[in-house]
Structure 1
Amino acid sequence: MKILTVCGMGSGSSLILKMNIDSILEEENIKADVEACDLGSVGGQSADLIVSTAELENQLSDAQAEKVFVNNVVDKDAIKKAVLPKLKS
C-alpha cells in the first residue's frame, strides 16, 4: 500500500502526518510506503490512500485515491482513528 501525506508546500504538516502515520503503522504491524508531498505533486503520484488536512479537502477532490482528512496533524490518536479503518479495509 502506498500512502501520500499532503500539505500545501510538502514540508510542514505533510511531514508531521508522515511521521505519525509511520509510527501508527509500526505499532499496528502494517506494511505501507508513506511519502510526504506538496499539493501540486499529487496529480503525478499514484497512491492507495491520501491523508491531508481538512483545509485541503476541496483541492484534493479530483485525486484518484481513498482520502482521509484530519483537523490536527499532531493528534496521533485522532489520526489513528481516521486512518486505521482505511488501512484495514
Structure 2
Amino acid sequence: MKILTVCGMGSGSSLIMKMNVDAILEEEDVKGEVEACDLGSVGGQGADLIISTAELENQLTDVETPKVFVNNVVDKEAIRAAILPQLKS
C-alpha cells in the first residue's frame, strides 16, 4: 500500500504525519510505503491512500484516490482512528 501524507509545501505537517503513519503501520503490522508530498504533486503519485489536514479537504476534491483528513497532525491516536478503517479494507 502506498500512502501519501500531504500538506501545502510538503515539508511541515506532512512530514509529521508521515512519521506518525510509519509508526502506526509498524504497530498494526501493516506493510506500506509512506511518502510526504506537497499539494501540487499529489496527482502524479499513484497512491492507494491520501492523508491530509482538514484545511486542505476542499483542495483535494478532484483527486479520486481515497482520502482521510485529520485535524491534528501530532495526535497519533486520532490519526490511527482515522486511517485504520482504510488500512483494514
TM-score normalised according to structure 1 size:
0.98
Unaligned runs of 5+ in 1: none
For residue 64 of structure 1, report the CA deviation from its aligned partner: 1.9
Q: Aligned partners of 2:87, 2:5: CA distance in 1, in Å?
A: 14
Unaligned runs of 5+ in 2: none
The ranges of structure 1 where at least 4 consecutive aligned residues each deviate by more than 3 angstroms after the TM superposition are: none
- 1:30 matched to 2:24? The reply is no
Which residue is 1:56 aligned to? Answer: 56
Q: Considering only aligned residues, what root-mean-square deviation do their CA atoms show, in Å?
A: 0.5
Identity, % of aligned pairs? 79
The residue correspondences of 1:63-74 to structure 2 (distance < 5 A) are: 63-74=63-74
Q: Aligned partners of 1:63, 1:47: CA distance in 2, in Å?
A: 10
TM-score normalised according to structure 2 size:
0.98
